[in-house]
Structure formats: C-alpha cells, structure tokens
Amino acid sequence: MPSSTIKSSAQVLQTFKNPELIKTKAYVNGKWISSSTGEKFDINNPALPADEGKIATVDSMSESDYNQAIEKANIAFEEFKKTSGRSRADLLEKLYDLVMENKEDLAKLLVLENGKPYANAIFEVEYAASFFKWFSEEAPRIYGDIIPASNSKNRILVFKQPVGVCGILTPWNFPLAMITRKLGAAIATGCTSVIKPASETPLSGLALGYLCEQAKIPSGVVNILPCSDASKAGKLITEHPGVNKVSFTGSTSVGKVLMKQAAGTLKKLSFELGGNAPFIVFEDADIDEAVDGAIASKFETSGQTCICANRIFVHEDIYDQFSSKLVAKLKHTKLGNGLVDGVTHGPLIHDNSMKKVREHIEDATSKGAKILVGGSKRPELGEHFHDLTVLGNVNTDMKITQEETFGPVAPLIKFTSEDEVVKLANDTNVGLGGYFYSNDLRRVFRVAEAMNVGMVGANSREISEAEIPFGGVAESGFGREGSKFGLDDYLVTKSLVIGNV
Ligand code: NAP
C-alpha cells in the first residue's frame, strides 16, 4: 500500500477493496443504528491537517442508546451462555478468518485514524486476529473441577460460568487489538459485550462490528457504540446494574475514576493501566541486541504504547558505547505519514501528547540533560510530529523518569551496580512491563524475580503475544488478558455440593 505521495483520507478510503468496512453508526443487537439525539463527531487523521485529514463523521451514541444496548446484551446473554464452547470456537475461528481476509483494508483504517505506519498497522491486524485464534482454541477447554469432600457422603463439583454482560472500554493506541483481546475472551466464555471504542479511533472497532455481522455472531452478543464523551459513556457502563464486568485499558487516573464508579454495583473489573517501564542494559549484555531492543521498545508507534521503555538504565562501563550505537541507528528511521514509502514512525495522536513530550524534554534539559539526537517538533511534517529523541545525562529528579511520557523520547540514566538499578527500576507506583539485557544466567533469574512488574522481557522486548498473560501490578491495574489466564476475568466459579450420596 505505501506510495510515494501523500493522499488525503478521502482518497485512501477510495482504495478499499471492501468499502463496507467503513461504518459510521453504532452496531446494536445486530443492526446499524443512528444516535437517538442526532449527535455526531468527526474522526481525523493525526498525520494531516483537518481539511485533508477528515476521515468520517460518526454518530455519538446517547445514554438511552447505551441503555438499549445493555438491555439487548442481557437478553442475548440468556441464550448465548447456553451455547457450547465448541460452537463459540467456530464463531471465533470465522472472525479470525474475516479479519485476516480484510487485513489490508483494516490496516489502512488503522493508519488513517491512529497515524501508525502501514507495516505496524499490518502487524496490529495480525496481532488483533491472533486473539480470536487463541480464544477459539481456549473456548472448548473451559474446565471445572471435582473436589474430594471432607464429608464422605458429599460430592463437590466446580463449574466455570460466564460472568454476564461485559462493558469494554478501549484506547486509541491499538484500536483493533485492544478490542479483540477482550472480546475474544468474552465470546469464548459465553459473555455478551457492550463496547465503547476510543473516540479518536472508533472506525476499526466499527469495522469489527461489520465482521461480527458477517460471521453471524448472534444479535446482541456484540454491541459497539461510539461516543464523543468518554466520561459519560464510562460512567453509564460502570454504574449500570445490567453490566456485570468492566474491562478498561487506559490511564491510571481514569482507572481510579472507573473503579469508584463501579463500587456501587461491585462489578468484576480488569484494568490495564499506565506503565513506566524500566529498560536495563547490564555491562555483560550484547550491546547490539540491547540497542535494537531499546529502539523497538521505546519508539514503536512513536512511544505510544503502555509497555514502551520509559527509563533506560545503562551500566557506566558501556554507557558511551550504547548511547553512540543507539544514536547512530536512529539515523536510519524516517518520520512521516504512515502510508508513505519508507516511513518508519508516525505522528502523535493529539495536542496533549505533544505537550507532554515538550514538557518532559524541557524539564530534563533545564536540569542538565543533553539532547543526543532529535529534540524538536517537526511542524513541516504536521502539527503532531516530533523527532525521535535521545536524552543523555538524565537523573531521577527529572519528570521524564517519574511519569510516563507516552511519546518518542528515550532518557538514558547511568548506573553502577545491580542492587542500585533494581531499586531505581522499582521506584515507581506502577508496574506493567520491564526489560533487561544480560548474558549472566544467574542474574537473569535474580533481576526478573526482583522487578516489580507484571511482565518481564529478559533479552527480549516481545512481552505481548496472545499466549502471554498481559497485565500489571500496583497502579498498573489488575487482571490478565490473553493466555489461558485471560479467560478467568470473564468467568465466575460456582460450586455444587451433592449431599447424602
Ligand atoms: P486515557 O485518558 O485514560 O484514555 C484512554 C481511553 O480511556 C480512551 O479511549 C478514552 O476515551 C477513555 N476514557 C477517558 N476518560 C474516560 C472516562 N472518564 N471513562 C471511561 N473512559 C474514559 O489515556 P490517554 O492519555 O488517552 O492514553 C494514554 C494512557 O493510557 C497512558 O497512561 C497509557 O499507559 C495508558 N494505556 C495503557 C494500556 C495498557 O494496556 N495498560 C494500553 C494503552 C494505553 P476517548 O478516547 O473516547 O476519550
């Protein structure tokens, strides 16, 4: 798809093999419905100015539309919960095939609404599909248990049953995959869902609604409702007595609001929240591998993933070698519109992200950090473009080490000992991903066990795959997505005691 010229969003939409994927209304109970208030909002390509960038105008669903969807999801649940795991596996398998058949169009949609380069978008579509595949394989294997009773006349059985209607709230950085990771588990377990996709990027979620329709997922099992007011939709979903579980991916601050809102109905919750990932390069590491890992982990989707390296700790003995190799390799990257040939990194999603990146660079440089490469906005490319940046001489008094930047800035911090760096790595209230590079096997175990995070990459940055439990500790949230553990969040455990046998 990438070409040598930049096209407006409208021109790109004309290249779709299947234009049916472009939906602007909500998918509720198997039908495409308009907002009852008539409210709408525009979706813009972050790489282009508004006049060329507008992709579509989408219906913003009202409280009464959400109430209707929750009611339909409850009705659908009564039948869907009775279906066999095998039949739900077939539905998920069909969804997997449909996502893969529409890979190129879905990737274009992701580039348009999120800005990520086309190759990353293709990766996201495959990654998104992998959750349908994975959960299609898990659906027929939701086992209960038989427990030996203390009373020899009793028999004890344990059932796993679907939790009910799930509210799914997803972010803009992986607009398709963050839905499939949750929806795959919901369908596998026999739950029904009411989904609010991020307001910056609802189009890939709505395209998924179309694919659910094509896959003949029973009406009311999957409902997708865009809304321009996240706090209104979030409040309704978390407070509604007809929603049994909420799964949210987003910031820690919003997670805290949602948890308070859900307290009134004591819902089952799973939250994937912010991170502040440490990335440690020990003196015995393979430096080239560590440089490649740091570039992938820090700069993928221009630093806008929750498991991006946020603090790069480098041992003093190899600091100069590591930083000069990192800077040299970054010269081979290219910023720009994700649909243009050779572009490796795209824009940030919105003005607030740009503001945070500038604030972190300015705070760090005012306290003695040195810009080793990059460091500037790139207005000639568009208002949301920022250089991939490396800062040297960073210390832990700087904001950039205390808060998640969620942008393309790599701060390098020198350390001298393992004990010191483990303490520094754990000095944060969040713990999602963490990485280190070392060729000492004993150290691999020691450091992995000591890191206060939910996922560790030792000589690897690939900590997010369908088969790996994904989630954090402390203020990074709770619950796990993907993997065999990802089903638990959508199930309740029920015991049955049969007496006097
Ligand atoms: P954010 O404000 O929390 O937004 C993330 C999502 O939450 C958006 O889709 C947003 O919807 C929605 N949202 C915002 N306020 C809400 C509310 N009151 N009720 C319900 N939903 C609400 O975060 P952001 O600044 O856009 O994204 C970056 C943050 O998200 C980072 O801290 C990052 O670590 C975190 N994140 C975490 C993960 C993970 O897997 N742990 C993944 C991605 C992002 P609208 O778009 O409609 O406003």
Cα 172 to middle of ligand 1, angstroms: 8
Say whether pLDDT at 2 is over 80.
Answer: no
Cα 299 to middle of ligand 1, angstroms: 19
Neighbours of 410 (CB within 10 A): 31
Among 386, 144, 162, 185, smallest CA distance to 272 is for 185
Per-residue pLDDT at 283:
98
The answer, yes or no, to whether any atom of ligand 1 lies below 6 A from the CB of 275, is yes
Ligand 1 atom nearest 172 alpha carbon: 9
Tell me the β-bridge partners of 497: 156
96 Cβ contact list (under 8 Å, min separation 6): 129, 132, 133, 136
The answer, yes or no, to whether any atom of ligand 1 lies below 6 A from the CB of 254, is yes
Per-residue pLDDT at 170:
98
Cα 285 to middle of ligand 1, angstroms: 35
Q: What is the mean pLDDT of residues 441-453?
A: 98
Q: What is the share, in percent, of the chain residues with pLDDT greater than 70?
A: 99
Cα 336 to middle of ligand 1, angstroms: 24
Return d(Cα 302, Cα 335) in angstroms, integer: 9
The answer, yes or no, to whether any atom of ligand 1 lies below 6 A from the CB of 202, is no
Split at pLDDT 50, 70, 90, the class of 8 is confident
Per-residue pLDDT at 4:
65
Residue to substitute in 41, 251, 350 for testing ligand 1 pocket (most ligand atoms within 8 angstroms of CB): 251
Closest residue to atom 40 of ligand 1, CA basis? 272
Return d(Cα 175, Cα 147) in angstroms, integer: 42
Return d(Cα 431, Cα 394) in angstroms, integer: 21
The answer, yes or no, to whether any atom of ligand 1 lies below 6 A from the CB of 251, is yes
Q: What is the mean pLDDT of residues 157-174?
A: 98
Ligand 1 atom nearest 174 alpha carbon: 43
Q: What is the pTM of this model?
A: 0.96
The answer, yes or no, to whether any atom of ligand 1 lies below 6 A from the CB of 58, is no
Per-residue pLDDT at 143:
97
Cα 64 to middle of ligand 1, angstroms: 23
Return d(Cα 204, Cα 186) in angstroms, integer: 19
Closest residue to atom 13 of ligand 1, CA basis? 230
Ligand 1 atom nearest 200 alpha carbon: 46
Cα 254 to middle of ligand 1, angstroms: 7
The answer, yes or no, to whether any atom of ligand 1 lies below 6 A from the CB of 349, is no
Cα 110 to middle of ligand 1, angstroms: 17
Closest residue to atom 48 of ligand 1, CA basis? 230
Residue 467 designated active-site: no
Tell me the β-bridge partners of 431: 473
The answer, yes or no, to whether any atom of ligand 1 lies below 6 A from the CB of 249, is yes
Ligand 1 atom nearest 235 alpha carbon: 19
Q: Which two tokens stand for residue 3?
A: 């070409």
How does pLDDT run across 180-238, given as a tens digit for each residue? 999 999 999 999 999 999 999 999 999 999 999 999 999 999 999 999 999 999 999 99
Contact criterion met (CB below 8 Å) for 327 and 372: yes
Q: What is the mean pLDDT of residues 146-172?
A: 98
Split at pLDDT 50, 70, 90, the class of 366 is very high
Tell me the β-bridge partners of 246: 167, 269
Ligand 1 atom nearest 227 alpha carbon: 47
Closest residue to atom 42 of ligand 1, CA basis? 306
Give DSSP secondary structure letters for 89-125. Answer: HHHHHHHHHHHHHTHHHHHHHHHHHH---HHHHHHHH
How does pLDDT run across 388-436, given as a tens digit for each residue? 999 999 999 999 999 999 999 999 999 999 999 999 999 999 999 999 9
pLDDT, the chain, mean: 96
How does pLDDT run across 73-115, given as a tens digit for each residue? 999 999 999 999 999 999 999 999 999 999 999 999 999 999 9
Per-residue pLDDT at 40:
98
The answer, yes or no, to whether any atom of ligand 1 lies below 6 A from the CB of 1, is no
Say whether pLDDT at 250 is over 90.
Answer: yes
Per-residue pLDDT at 7:
74
Say whether pLDDT at 5 is over 90.
Answer: no
Per-residue pLDDT at 52:
84
Cα 255 to middle of ligand 1, angstroms: 8
Please give the DSSP secondary-structure letter assigned to residue 218.
P
How does pLDDT run across 449-490, given as a tens digit for each residue? 999 999 999 999 999 999 999 999 999 999 999 999 999 999
CA dihedral 207, 208, 214, 218 (to 10 degrees): -130
Split at pLDDT 50, 70, 90, the class of 50 is confident
The answer, yes or no, to whether any atom of ligand 1 lies below 6 A from the CB of 173, is yes
Q: Is 140 helix (H, G, I), strand (E, B) or coil?
A: helix
Closest residue to atom 7 of ligand 1, CA basis? 250
Out of 113, 138, 200, 272, which one is annotated catalytic?
272
Per-residue pLDDT at 109:
97
The answer, yes or no, to whether any atom of ligand 1 lies below 6 A from the CB of 452, is no
The answer, yes or no, to whether any atom of ligand 1 lies below 6 A from the CB of 403, is no
Ligand 1 atom nearest 229 alpha carbon: 47
